[in-house]
Amino acid sequence: MTTQVGSTMPVHEEPYSGPLLDVRDLHVEFKTRDGVARAVNGVNYSVSAGETLAVLGESGSGKSVTAQAIMGILDMPPARIPQGEILFRGKDMLTMGREERRQIRGQRIAMIFQDALSSLNPVLTVGYQLGEMYRAHHGTDRKEAKAKAIELMERVRIPAAAERVGDYPHQFSGGMRQRIMIAMALALEPDLIIADEPTTALDVTVQAQVMDLLAELQSEYHMGLILITHDLGVVADVADKIAVMYAGRIVETAPVHDLYAAPAHPYTRGLLDSIPRLDQKGQELYAIKGLPPNLMRIPPGCAFNPRCPRAQEICRREVPRLFEVTGDNDSPVPGRGSACFFWKETLHDADDA
Amino acid sequence: MTPMTPNGATPVGAALAEEAAFEKPVSRGEPILEVRDLVKHFPLTRGVVFKKQVGAVKAVDGVSFDLMQGETLGIVGESGCGKSTLAKVLMNLEPATAGSVRYKGEEISHLTGSALKAVRRNIQMVFQDPYTSLNPRMTVGDIIGEPYEIHPEVAPKGDRRKAVQDLLDVVGLNPEYINRYPHQFSGGQRQRIGIARGLALKPEIIICDEPVSALDVSVQAQVINLLEKLQNEFNLSYMFIAHDLSIVRHISDRVGVMYLGRIVEIGTDEEIYEHPTHPYTQALLSAVPVPDPVARESRDRIVLVGDVPSPANPPSGCRFRTRCWKAQEKCAQEVPALTVREWLEGPAAHDSACHFAAERENGQ
Amino acid sequence: MPEHDLPDDHDPLRHIQPTDSDHLDYVGQQGLAVEQDTLIEPDVIKREEARSLWGHAWRDLRRRPIFIVSTLLIILLLLMAIWPGLFTDANPRQADLAHDFLRKPDYTDFFGAGWFGYDGQGRSVYARVIYGARASITVGICVTLAVVIVGGLAGMVAGYFGGWSDAVISRIIDIFFGIPLLLGALVLLNAFSVRTVWSVVVALAFLGWTQLARVMRGSVLTIKQSDYVVAGRALGAGTGRLMFRHILPNAVAPVIVVATISLGGYITAEATLSFLGIGLQDPTISWGVDISSAQKFIRTAPFVLFFPAAALSLTVLAFIMMGDAVRDALDPKLR
């Protein structure tokens, strides 16, 4: 799929033209009491600086597990990475030394979680927790760290930052806490931010503010952003490109406009069709039949085949690779792929509709 | 049929709603549930043994609306607006502090004992979280059959197993699953079990409190379709509480918007979504992410400033005034009534609790 | 890119519109099109048929070595308590100071009177270890039962009804919480002129019920909030049904765990009281009494002390292990 030229560039800092992060054939499995759950089964994606990749999927699709593997916050065991590479600026984080990895994960890649309240320490002030990032990584002294904390809070537009720097996390509203999380992620000016459902716990009006802020800061700092979400609306608003995941695999990748205009995988199409639309008022909603698969018993062939309206014999037999999707004049659309044997039909069907 | 607003005004230009009417031929339009000035305050107390009231969380503070026979009334609002408390008070799970709830003309908000039990047969509820709303120690058969044990008059003892299996069939689950336990089902299937339990007593009203928000996107549509089918089949009236505005629009005939314990605007889905006149509704609608990347440049989003004030200490006058760009002196002094403003015409003329109710000028 | 070998005009999606119901593979009798769970294979369904959470816990327990070992030990102890005659022919009260005073164990005499040697009054230590199980097990089980019933009920009432009943019961629990179990029992048992197993049971149960009441109250308070109890209320279920059908079965798990673990504690408490001379007394046979009388021979004949002490430790260990295993099996977080 998104195999990038130039990812074999020399390892070190200096001029580096490849993608910021390149995940290749990543597998993650969990050992449970009842067997092995294959949460991620060969995921490939890449993000460049200044780019927003949205990873879209339902619960159990492996979207969050992939992010946790990148951040190195998987509990191992029970998790295991039997296969795959996570290249940060061309260097595999799974094989590099512990110290080097820690450096990258602390400073170069930052993560924002869904639940800001449980990610912040309730007994320390917000200012202290923000300042701690500087103290720990740059040895900044206490006073300067506090000044930096206020500056960060202002940057994420927390009103009256100087007065609120001494407040505790529970004294902030949900939206403000999520801003603080963003401020923390920004503190060390990372190259890449991974946001795992950053606005799911927030109300619609606040959601919009937080997403706007995130998008703005991203372009200001020219960071890469991986946005993990299940919300097709949020994705449409901010993403540059999209990877749709299902049962631990990427089933479709596409630039955002192409995906919404004409999905090339029946699953994506089903998701888009099941959103209530104005002209369907009073009609039955399109619903993808059945249920997401149990990760311990992923169906053979294409994992989506039992729910797929287009499934054929071949889908039950063979796992589809990510086919390159071509546009109208048969020339490949850059960055577009679909793991469906019938992507062409799916694509054209969408044109008709 | 034509959906009616509480004061009886007929909406104009509801073409889509008329189309829906073809599918719902039942005699409608009569209010089945009338709610007037409903108030629910949770006292804030201090002290362990000798409790002293120091204030109250005004979760629901003067809510009035009618639920018509056979219609779906959507209630939208953000967390903390009181919509779930409203559901609990209507279900008599929490006693109302003040106000009245009339079911078919009869006051039910202060019933107890067998009279309350009789009313419960007719008003049932579907809960938000399918993982916590089913007793994990009971089989599906016991869960769905429990209503019959509590109300034995509904189904004679010998018929209960059959009745439960029929219900499973109705909600789309294999009737053979009767002996399985809830943890053996996925979220969507559990929600179907919860719906079957709600249907068991053949109620007339079902209050759905965020019935799909805990489900995966691909499963949400299944449950929404099921709810709509059941409504047609059994002529149910729904009160559909949710924060997802697009789902509410899809399923509702009328929609009420809540903010800080009050309904700020209510009308047909068309009136609310296409011609909102309350600033809060306008802001809420403009913030909904639209699954269409083409629209993202052209969107005219209203970004609200500040946070929702605490329901323990709401602002005077209009509760939205602290975040409203139209706010003036009058808004702080006078509580705006939920009525039709005389200067509004057409679909914009519906109940809105704003002194300066008006449609947005640029775009919708 | 490679072409798959299917004709281009093959397009199964074409005739499926969002409002069609023909993509649904199960049509119910009521004429409603519904979707079936196609993803669980039939054999899996059969195997998982009707397995309750308790059933899961049981299946889980059977696979834990720690549970098997502790269960076997407890069964053995129960047999010893009920039919001590199965294990020894010797009479634990028969004393022969002339021949057997502190006679050393004869380890070749399996299950014989002299296997563990003889105590300071010439009685078979082995026989006394066997017969001593009855007092310990009786105290342990009876105290636990009493504590579960009394504490469970009190906790249930406090948790479910709240208000005044909760305030009163919680204050009583707080007061009892300040009394150390052993010290309290010492004082209480002093009031009995004749101390039997039952007086020890009464004293320990009187002081111990509050622990279970706390656990039960907390558990009931949590369960009471859950949606399925609210759903029961919405259906019109009465207090009895809510309490015994919805709340109790879900609230009882932590109580069982705490009770199993504390059972070992009550056995220790009995032995300690007997050791201090305030619990059971001769002629009642109890490990505590034996340990107490053996202490003066600790230099000359340590075996007299060792065997009853070992039996006591093993018993307590068995119950604690079992409680641990049960807790792990019932913990939903590990599911």
- Enter the tokens of residue A176: 């403000």
The average pLDDT across B90-111 equals 87
ipTM: 0.79
- Enter the tokens of residue B14: 């509801």
The burial of A110, by beta-carbon neighbours within 10 Å (0-12 exposed, 13-18 middle, 19 or more buried), is given as buried
Same-domain status, A231 and A317: no
3-state secondary structure of B103: strand
CA distance A274 to chain C (A): 8
* CA nearest neighbour of A214 among A86, A104, A110: A110
The burial of B111, by beta-carbon neighbours within 10 Å (0-12 exposed, 13-18 middle, 19 or more buried), is given as middle
User: Do C245 and B138 lie within an 8 Å CB cutoff?
Assistant: yes
pLDDT at A282: 66
pLDDT band at B29 (very low <50, low <70, confident <90, very high): low
Q: Which residue has the tokens 């000035």?
A: B37
pLDDT band at C155 (very low <50, low <70, confident <90, very high): very high
- How far is C-alpha C313 from the geometric centre of its chain's CA atoms? 17
User: Do C13 and A345 lie within an 8 Å CB cutoff?
Assistant: yes
Per residue in A270-316, pLDDT (tens digit) is: 888 888 776 667 677 788 887 788 788 888 888 888 888 888 888 88
Q: Is A167 on the interface with B (CB under 8 A)?
A: no
User: Do C235 and B132 lie within an 8 Å CB cutoff?
Assistant: no
* CA nearest neighbour of B255 among B65, B79, B58: B65
User: Do A237 and B293 lie within an 8 Å CB cutoff?
Assistant: yes
Q: Which chains touch C (3 or more CB pairs under 8 A)?
A: A, B
Domains: count for chain A: 2
Using CB atoms and an 8 Å cut-off, which of residues 100-139 of chain A contact chain C?
Answer: none
Q: Which of A324-333, C115-124, C202-211 has the lowest mean pLDDT?
A: A324-333
Q: Kind of pairing, strands B31-46 and B98-103? A: antiparallel
Asked if the structure places residue A11 within a domain, the reply is: no
- Enter the tokens of residue B270: 């068309």
Per residue in C265-291, pLDDT (tens digit) is: 898 998 888 888 888 877 788 888 888
pLDDT of residue B166 exceeding 50, the answer is yes
pLDDT of residue C34 exceeding 50, the answer is no
User: Do A260 and B188 lie within an 8 Å CB cutoff?
Assistant: no
Q: Is B243 on the interface with A (CB under 8 A)?
A: yes
Contacts (Cβ under 8 Å, ≥6 apart) of C330? C53, C57, C253, C254, C256, C257
- Enter the tokens of residue B62: 């003067």
pLDDT at C313: 92
C-alpha–C-alpha distance, residues B137 and C253, integer Å: 11
Are B287 and B279 in contact by the 8 Å Cβ rule? The answer is no
Same-domain status, A204 and A342: no
Asked if the structure places residue A161 within a domain, the reply is: yes
Count Cβ atoms below 10 Å from residue A117 Cβ, excluding itself: 15
User: Do C250 and B170 lie within an 8 Å CB cutoff?
Assistant: no
pLDDT at A14: 54
Q: Which residue has the tokens 């119901």?
A: C21
SS (H, E, C) C159-184: HHHCHHHHHHHHHHHHHHHCCCHHHH
Nearest to A309 among C12, C21, C36 (CB): C12
Using CB atoms and an 8 Å cut-off, which of residues 282-341 of chain B contact chain A?
Answer: 283-284, 287-296, 301, 303-304, 306-308
C-alpha–C-alpha distance, residues B9 and B66, integer Å: 13
The average pLDDT across B64-93 equals 89
User: Do C37 and B147 lie within an 8 Å CB cutoff?
Assistant: no
User: Do C35 and A294 lie within an 8 Å CB cutoff?
Assistant: no
| Residue with more model confidence, A351 or A189 | A189
Asked if the structure places residue A244 within a domain, the reply is: no
The CATH number of the domain holding residue A34 is 3.40.50.300
Nearest to B179 among C50, C231, C249 (CB): C50
Asked if the structure places residue A248 within a domain, the reply is: no
Same-domain status, A208 and A266: no
C-alpha–C-alpha distance, residues A296 and A37, integer Å: 4
Q: Which residue of C has its CA nearest to B169?
A: C28
CA distance C247 to chain B (A): 9
Determine the Cα angle at A296 with ends A295 and A300, to 5°: 80
Same-domain status, A37 and A96: yes
C-alpha–C-alpha distance, residues B216 and C211, integer Å: 42
Asked if the structure places residue A179 within a domain, the reply is: yes
pLDDT at A15: 58
pLDDT at B258: 92
C-alpha–C-alpha distance, residues C33 and B100, integer Å: 40
Measured between beta carbons, the chain A residues lying within 8 angstroms of C60 are 33
Radius of gyration of chain A (CA): 21
The average pLDDT across C296-316 equals 88
Asked if the structure places residue A256 within a domain, the reply is: no
pLDDT at C16: 29
Q: Which of A170-179, A252-261, B345-354, C157-166 has the lowest mean pLDDT?
A: A170-179
Identify the DSSP state of C196. -
3-state secondary structure of C79: helix
pLDDT band at A350 (very low <50, low <70, confident <90, very high): low
pLDDT of residue C144 exceeding 90, the answer is yes
pLDDT of residue C31 exceeding 80, the answer is no
C-alpha–C-alpha distance, residues A234 and A242, integer Å: 12
User: Do C37 and A291 lie within an 8 Å CB cutoff?
Assistant: yes
User: Do B293 and A256 lie within an 8 Å CB cutoff?
Assistant: yes
Measured between beta carbons, the chain A residues lying within 8 angstroms of C25 are 289
Q: Is B252 on the interface with A (CB under 8 A)?
A: no
User: Do A284 and C1 lie within an 8 Å CB cutoff?
Assistant: no
C-alpha–C-alpha distance, residues C207 and C182, integer Å: 9
User: Do B117 and C53 lie within an 8 Å CB cutoff?
Assistant: no
Give the amino acid at A20: L
As a dihedral over the C-alpha atoms of residue B317, residue B319, residue B322, residue B324, rounded to 10 degrees, the angle is -100
Nearest to B78 among A205, A230, A257 (CB): A205
- Enter the tokens of residue B91: 């279900």
User: Do C50 and B180 lie within an 8 Å CB cutoff?
Assistant: yes
Asked if the structure places residue A137 within a domain, the reply is: yes
User: Do A287 and B296 lie within an 8 Å CB cutoff?
Assistant: no
SS (H, E, C) A185-252: HHCCCCCEEEEECCCCCCCHHHHHHHHHHHHHHHHHHCCEEEEEECCHHHHHHHCCEEEEEECCEEEE
Q: Is A200 on the interface with B (CB under 8 A)?
A: no
- Enter the tokens of residue B6: 């509480």
Same-domain status, A232 and A104: yes
Using CB atoms and an 8 Å cut-off, which of residues 255-284 of chain A contact chain B?
Answer: 256-257, 260, 270-272, 274-276, 278, 280-282, 284
C-alpha–C-alpha distance, residues B2 and B10, integer Å: 7
Q: Which residue of C has its CA nearest to A305?
A: C39
Nearest to B120 among C49, C53, C236 (CB): C236
* CA nearest neighbour of A228 among A29, A107, A69: A69
Measured between beta carbons, the chain B residues lying within 8 angstroms of A57 are none
pLDDT at C90: 78
- Enter the tokens of residue C215: 């656990």
Same-domain status, A183 and A271: no
% chain B with pLDDT above 70: 90
3-state secondary structure of B321: helix
pLDDT of residue B203 exceeding 80, the answer is yes
% chain C with pLDDT above 70: 82
As a dihedral over the C-alpha atoms of residue A273, residue A276, residue A280, residue A285, rounded to 10 degrees, the angle is 60
What is the side-by-side strand order in the sheet with B254-259? B123-126, B205-209, B237-242, B72-76, B254-259, B262-268, B351-352
Same-domain status, A164 and A60: yes
Q: Which chains touch A (3 or more CB pairs under 8 A)?
A: B, C
User: Do B222 and A233 lie within an 8 Å CB cutoff?
Assistant: no
C-alpha–C-alpha distance, residues B111 and B307, integer Å: 38
Same-domain status, A71 and A189: yes
Residue A117 is part of which domain span?
Answer: 16-239
- Enter the tokens of residue C260: 């199993």
The average pLDDT across B223-230 equals 89
Q: Which residue of B has its CA nearest to A283?
A: B20
Same-domain status, A195 and A294: no
User: Do A282 and B20 lie within an 8 Å CB cutoff?
Assistant: yes
- Enter the tokens of residue A77: 């065991």
At residue B362, φ and ψ (nearest 5 deg) are -95, 120
Using CB atoms and an 8 Å cut-off, which of residues 257-286 of chain B contact chain A?
Answer: 269, 283-284
Same-domain status, A340 and A199: no
% chain B with pLDDT above 90: 14
pLDDT band at C225 (very low <50, low <70, confident <90, very high): confident
The average pLDDT across C291-320 equals 88
3-state secondary structure of B36: strand
pLDDT at B13: 40
The average pLDDT across C204-220 equals 91
Report the mean per-residue pLDDT for chain B. 82
pLDDT of residue C22 exceeding 50, the answer is no
pLDDT at C27: 34
Asked if the structure places residue A1 within a domain, the reply is: no
* CA nearest neighbour of A171 among B307, B45, B80, B77: B307
Q: Which residue of A has its CA nearest to C17?
A: A286
pLDDT at A13: 52
pLDDT of residue A200 exceeding 80, the answer is no
| Residue with more model confidence, A208 or B364 | A208
Q: Which of B120-124, C16-20, C62-66 has the lowest mean pLDDT?
A: C16-20
Same-domain status, A232 and A328: no
Same-domain status, A213 and A266: no
Measured between beta carbons, the chain A residues lying within 8 angstroms of C19 are 283-284, 286
C-alpha–C-alpha distance, residues B158 and B164, integer Å: 11
Measured between beta carbons, the chain A residues lying within 8 angstroms of C10 are 342, 345
